[in-house]
């Protein structure tokens, strides 16, 4: 047995047994022409590794395969090109010219402020562009499950906010809350992080 299998291998809280590793080896052997990305998808489908919305946990699975490869437990095919599973290279959002007319007046006249969830809608491009242009950290795709909101007055965007799912393992957080391992497993899906918040400069003035 390889040294890597003598100790228990774990990834994101999942214990990988000898049977798991042997299954992955057989999967790789059965698809010799498949890329690392393709193997990841096939493993997700075989093990039903899915997010709550039904999408495959492809990036999580790729990270697990890379960890096993580096530990000597499996042998992945050579990487194609310069792709790094840990750094997904994406084009920066294209500039979208927002409606820059100042929103002015008493708060009572401006209400109600519309809060619109725009992920996977035609308005998502505007959200991404506003973050890229005006947020000091620029736009970065939120990690894991996430939601994107535009706040608008009379259809004109005045603010953006993004929420992401919480990391499963964060010792400082768990100790502060007083969570045991069981409490974390039971409750971590109920936490969301406000990963980006932006009030557009000079967008709104309350009189």
Cα separation, 178 vs 26, whole angstroms? 42
- Find the range with the poorest average confidence among 103-107, 152-156, 203-207: 203-207
**Residue-level pLDDT at 90:** 59
First-residue to last-residue Cα distance in the chain: 74
Q: How many CB atoms lie within 10 A of CB 63?
A: 16
CA distance 74 to 69: 5
Residue pair 29/17 in contact (Cβ under 8 Å)? The answer is: no
The pLDDT of residue 128: 92
Q: Is 102 helix (H, G, I), strand (E, B) or coil?
A: coil
User: pLDDT at position 158, please?
Assistant: 87
What are the residue boundaries of the structural domains of the chain, listed by start? 3-70, 103-206
Token code pair at residue 103: 């929103």
Name residue 149's beta-bridge partners: 117, 161
Tell me which of 68-77, 82-91, 109-118 is least confident. 82-91
Mean pLDDT score, 122-139: 89
pTM (2 decimals)? Answer: 0.58
The residue ranking higher by pLDDT, 187 or 85, is 187
Tokens representing 190 are 């109920």
Nearest to 125 by CA among 145, 98, 100: 98
Q: In this structure, what DSSP letter does residue 50 have? A: B
């Amino acid at each position: 047995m390889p040294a890597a299998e003598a100790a228990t291998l774990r990834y994101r809280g999942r214990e990988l047994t000898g049977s798991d590793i042997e299954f992955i080896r057989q999967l790789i052997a059965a698809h010799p022409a498949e890329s690392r990305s393709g193997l990841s998808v096939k493993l997700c489908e075989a093990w039903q590794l899915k997010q709550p919305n039904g999408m495959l946990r492809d990036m999580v699975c790729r990270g697990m395969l890379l960890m096993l490869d580096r530990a000597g437990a499996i042998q992945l095919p050579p990487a194609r090109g310069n792709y790094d599973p840990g750094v997904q290279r994406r084009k920066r959002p294209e500039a979208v010219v927002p409606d820059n007319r100042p929103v002015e007046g008493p708060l009572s006249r401006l209400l109600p402020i519309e809060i619109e969830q725009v992920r996977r809608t035609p308005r998502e491009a505007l959200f991404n562009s506003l973050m890229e242009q005006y947020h000091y950290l620029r736009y970065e795709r939120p990690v894991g499950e996430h939601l994107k909101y535009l706040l608008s007055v009379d259809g004109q965007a005045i603010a953006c906010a993004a929420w992401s799912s919480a990391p499963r393992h964060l010792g400082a957080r768990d100790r502060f809350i007083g969570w045991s391992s069981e409490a974390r497993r039971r409750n971590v899906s109920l936490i969301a992080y406000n990963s980006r918040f932006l009030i557009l400069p000079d967008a709104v003035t309350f009189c």
